[in-house]
Amino acid sequence: MRGLRKRYGDVDAVNGVDLDVRQGEVFALLGPNGAGKSTAVEILEGHRRRTAGEVSVLGADPARAGRDWRARIGIVPQTSAENPQLTVREMVRHFASYYPRPRDPDEVIEAVGLAEQAGRRVGRLSGGQRRRVDVALGIIGDPELLFLDEPTTGFDPDARRRFWELIQGLAHDGTTILLTTHYLDEAEALADRVGVIAAGRMLAVDTPARLGGRATATARVSWRDPDGPRHIDTASPTQVVAELSAKFGGEVPELAVTRPSLEDVYLEMIGAVR
């Protein structure tokens, strides 16, 4: 994207956004509701027209790209487009017929962890299993680029972790993934880089570990003295830990060294533009 803008009446939903997503990476787009992230992604997918700016996805302008280009991308929307009467196998095979060079449906069903449910009707699956069907439909065309919109909303913790393993496997196989999520731990677990968007503007792009200066931020060293819990905020935590170790003659009781979390940095960023 270069100078991407989308205007609705007098409101700029996306206001001059620049962004590069590298081939083979997992990129997470973060932002509060109404920030413009869904609008930006829909423009990248070719589902919404931009007001101004330049966009290139897999070397083509999504606003003008045709069927061949669409066969190269996969989309997993936030809401499922399910047919509850079809079995998982019937559903995946049906969608495979839309693509010129689809993956083998049974291999895809295996890849998303639904081999044992292949003959079960979609309407009888759990929420997490139905979400895996969505991913199967998103990857059946063997896409070079996969869009995931809030993929684990409503998942329980165990289902989320298993879904993360699926996405990590896709990324390992070379699929480029653009992910939108409200879960900061999800972005930290999956993304090579993250971008924070608010009020239609891109505030920052970096790795989860470096976003907003996290890697060099003041650290908090905490421990327990005979008199109770203690802590100190310092730019030199290693020195403080060494001094504490010498003081205690080895192990420091309940020692912990923490820096601002991704959530801390994110909330500070979006709070500054509200």
Q: Give 90-136 pLDDT, tens digit per residue.
A: 999 999 999 999 999 999 998 888 999 999 999 999 888 888 898 89
As a whole number, mean pLDDT of residues 168-175 equals: 90
Q: What is the DSSP letter of 86?
A: S
As a whole number, mean pLDDT of residues 146-156 equals: 84
Could you tell me the two tokens for 163?
């879904």
Q: What is the pLDDT of residues 73-89, one digit of tens each?
A: 999 987 776 688 999 99
- Burial tier of 273 (Cβ tally within 10 Å: 0-12, 13-18, 19+): middle
pLDDT of residue 198: 93
Domain extents for the chain? 2-208, 213-271
pLDDT of residue 81: 61
Q: What integer best gives the mean pLDDT of the chain?
A: 91
CA-closest candidate to residue 79, choices 143, 149, 22, 155:
149
CATH superfamily of 2-208: P-loop containing nucleotide triphosphate hydrolases (3.40.50.300)
Distance CA 267, CA 101 (A): 43
As a whole number, mean pLDDT of residues 45-64 equals: 95
Decide if 50 contacts 63 (C-beta within 8 A). Answer: yes
Q: What is the pLDDT of residues 198-250, one digit of tens each?
A: 999 999 999 999 998 888 888 899 999 998 999 999 988 999 999 999 999 99
Q: What are phi and psi of 222, to 5 degrees?
A: -125, 150
Q: What is the DSSP letter of 69?
A: H
Distance CA 44, CA 73 (A): 10
Distance CA 80, CA 73 (A): 17
Nearest 5°: the CA angle 187, 206, 145 is: 60
As a whole number, mean pLDDT of residues 146-153 equals: 88
Q: What is the DSSP letter of 68?
A: H
CA-closest candidate to residue 151, choices 26, 25, 1:
26
* Higher-pLDDT residue of 169, 53: 53
CA-closest candidate to residue 127, choices 154, 151, 108, 150:
154
Using CA of residue 2, residue 192, residue 78, residue 107, what is the dihedral sign? positive
